[in-house]
């Protein structure tokens, strides 16, 4: 009985030890592409409210609203690492110099809305090379042909910081005009 339990335990440990990470916070690998997908709670959210805010954001273009979705392009988003209390030393060079772009879609359901950013591209400096033309972020933050996230990117100061910058732009800002 002990030997069966021991074999089962070792099998479970080896499976967990060799599992491939495909998600980190609001990022996940889907069909060999890195995708940002976040859900924001807001009981009063409407497509009109999101459209109004997103039209004010100079980083968003080609905003299209349908009955059940908003789609738009994100252009050259930069990460303000100081805003999120990271120092220059803590922040990877690609996040200091990078400009991120992609195609976003937003859907509302049950007092919340989900933002999905696909085809994420980046330009900037990564230390060992300068990225002048837009390059897919998937190639930088994953390995094994986009089937596993790189451990170097699965950190609060890398994908975590990029996620905060994206959320800061996508989250509905509520005016507190109670005076």
What would the mean pLDDT of 34-49 be, rounded to a whole number? Answer: 95
What would the mean pLDDT of 68-75 be, rounded to a whole number? Answer: 97
The domains of the chain, with CATH numbers, are 21-170 (3.30.530)
pTM above 0.75, yes or no: yes
Q: Name the phi and psi angles at 94, rounded to 5.
A: -65, -30
Structure confidence at residue 21 as a pLDDT band (50, 70, 90): confident
Q: Dump pLDDT digits (tens) for 141-178.
A: 999 988 999 999 999 999 999 999 999 999 998 776 55
**Average pLDDT value over all residues in the chain:** 89
Across 5-14, 42-51, 149-158, least confident range: 5-14
For residue 86, the tally of other CB atoms under 10 A from its CB is 20
The predicted pLDDT at position 10 comes to 45
The predicted pLDDT at position 127 comes to 85
């Amino acid at each position: 009985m002990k030997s069966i339990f021991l074999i089962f335990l070792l099998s479970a440990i080896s499976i967990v030890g060799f599992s491939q990470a495909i998600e980190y916070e609001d990022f996940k690998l889907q069909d060999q592409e890195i995708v940002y997908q976040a859900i924001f709670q807001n009981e009063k959210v409407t497509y009109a409210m999101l459209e109004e805010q997103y039209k004010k954001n100079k980083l968003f273009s080609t905003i299209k609203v349908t009955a059940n979705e908003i789609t738009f392009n994100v252009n050259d988003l930069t990460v303000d690492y100081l805003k999120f209390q990271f120092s220059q030393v803590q922040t990877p060079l690609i996040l200091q110099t990078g400009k991120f772009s992609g195609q976003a879609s937003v859907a509302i359901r049950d007092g919340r809305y989900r933002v999905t950013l696909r085809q994420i591209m980046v330009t900037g400096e990564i230390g060992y090379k300068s990225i002048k033309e837009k390059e897919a972020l998937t190639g930088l933050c994953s390995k094994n042909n986009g089937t596993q996230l790189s451990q170097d990117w699965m950190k609060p100061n890398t994908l975590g910081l990029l996620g905060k910058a994206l959320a800061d732009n996508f989250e509905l800002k509520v005016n507190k005009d109670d005076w």
